[in-house]
Amino acid sequence: MALATLAVIIDPRGMFRMASIDGINAKKFSFFQREHFIKPYQILSFQPRTVLLGNSIANSAFDLQHPALINSHTYSYGIAGAGTYTNWITLLHIQDSLPETAIYFLDFSAFFTANASQSKQSIEQSDLPHRLHYHADGSQNHGRWLQIIKDYALVLLSWDILHDCLETLKRQNEDGWHLQADGSWGGGSSQTGKPQRKRLLYVEKEIFFRPLLSHPSDLPFFEGTNGENTLAYFQSIIRLLQERNVRTILVIPPSHARIYETLFTQQRWNDYRIWKQQLVSINERIAQELGKPPLPLWDFSGYNAYTTETVPQPSDKLSRMQWFYDSVHFKPALGNKILDVIFDNSDKQNFGQPLTSNTVDEQLAHMEQSHLAYANTHPDDIQDILDACVSMAHNANQCITDTQIPKP
C-alpha cells in the first residue's frame, strides 16, 4: 500500500496526472525508453488540438511555447526510436479523437526496416500493440483491458516503479532530459556528458551504421525480410490524415551534414534519393485519389549554415554546438526557425523549401553538389565516418573506406 501510494503521489511516469510539485515530481526523468508505455495513456487524457508526430526529434527539437503552437494545446506524440510502423499504430490509437492539426516529422532513419527496435516484428512482440485502442489493421483491440491492468500493476507495484520514484525525487534539481506534461522533452541543455564529437559518432553508429550494415543488400532499405514496408505505413498515415481532414504539415527535418556524408561515402545516397522521391510521390498520389490538395511537404535537409555547423575537435571536451545535440537531434533554437518557416512567420533565409514532384530532383541535385564541396573541405568528418563504419562492421568488406571525392 505504501509503495502504491508513493507511486501515485510521485507519479514518475505521468500516468495519474497528479499535481506537479516543484522539487517533488515536477520533472519526470524516468521516461527514456518508456515512451511506448507512457504516451498512449498520456495523449488520451491530454486531448490535444495539435500533435507532433515522429520520433525523438518531435519531442526534443521544438519549443511548444512557440507563437504558432502556444495556443494550440499541442502534444509531442513522438516516441524515441519510432519507425513508421509505430507512428501508424499510435496514430490509429487516437483516431477516435484526432487533433485538428498534425505536424509529421519524417526522419530518414525511421524508414529503415533494419532498425531492429522499430521493426514491425519487434514492436509486435512488445507490449505496445496490446495497450492501443486499435490493431494495425484498424480493428478494435478488445483485449487491451488486460494490458491496462498489467500496466497499472507495474506503475503501482514493481521494483521499477520504486526505482523511478526514488530517481524522480533525487533528481528534481538536475537539468537533464525530463518528460513534460505535453509529451515534449524539457531540460537537455546540460553541458555535461559525452564530448560533442563523441555524441555525434554515437548516434551515427547506432542510428545509421548498425542498421545499414545489417540490412540485406538485395532488399531496398524500406523493405524487411518478413515483408514489411515502411513506405506503406507512411502511406496509410497520410491517407488517414487526409481522409479525416486533419490539417497536416509534413516536415523533413535537418540533419547535420555528416549524416548525408555517411550516405554518400557508403554509397547509400540512392536510398535517400528514392526515399524523398517516394515521399513526394505518395503524398501527391493519395491527394489525387482523394481529390484533395497534397499535404504541404517541407524539406529542411541539405547543406546550409545550420547543418554544416563546425563540430568541435576530439580534444575539445567542453564545447557544445549551437544548433545540434548530435548528428540527428537539433536544438529548439533551430526547431523554432523551422516553425517560423512552416507557419510563415518570418523570412525564410533560404532555409527550408516546399518539396513537390517539380522540385525534388532539383533539391537532390543541389545536395549532391553541396556534398562535393563539404567533403573536400571537411576531411576530418569524412575520416570519422569511415572509422565509425569500420568499427561497426563485422568484416571490413562491409564498409567502403577508400573514398575518392571528386572536386566540385
Chain residues in the site for other proteins (CB under 8 A): 146, 149-150, 153-154, 157-160, 162-164, 167, 226, 394
**Pick 151 or 204: Cβ nearer other proteins:** 151
Closest CA relative to residue 204, chosen from 387, 372, 331:
387
| Cβ 309 to other proteins shortest distance, Å | 30
Task: Measure the CA–CA gap between 127 and 150, rounded to whole angstroms.
Answer: 10
3-state secondary structure of 294: coil
Strand partners, 51: 75, 102
| Cβ 246 to other proteins shortest distance, Å | 35
**Pick 65 or 158: Cβ nearer other proteins:** 158
- Residues 6+ positions from 191 with CB-CB distance below 8 Å: 318, 320
**Is 99 buried (19+), middle (13-18) or exposed (0-12) by CB count in 10 A?**
buried
| Cβ 278 to other proteins shortest distance, Å | 24
DSSP string, 151-164: HHHHHHSSHHHHHH
**Pick 34 or 273: Cβ nearer other proteins:** 34
- Our CA dihedral for 343, 104, 256, 314, rounded to 10 degrees, sits at 120
| Cβ 27 to other proteins shortest distance, Å | 17
| Cβ 159 to other proteins shortest distance, Å | 5
C-alpha distances in Å from residue 311, one per residue of 90, 160, 262, 299, 327: 35, 38, 15, 23, 10
Q: Are 316 and 195 in contact (CB under 8 A)?
A: yes
- Our CA dihedral for 286, 98, 95, 58, rounded to 10 degrees, sits at 80
**Pick 154 or 405: Cβ nearer other proteins:** 154
**Pick 161 or 231: Cβ nearer other proteins:** 161
**Pick 154 or 372: Cβ nearer other proteins:** 154
**Pick 21 or 219: Cβ nearer other proteins:** 219
| Cβ 220 to other proteins shortest distance, Å | 16
3-state secondary structure of 116: helix
Residue 179 DSSP class: E
| Cβ 78 to other proteins shortest distance, Å | 23
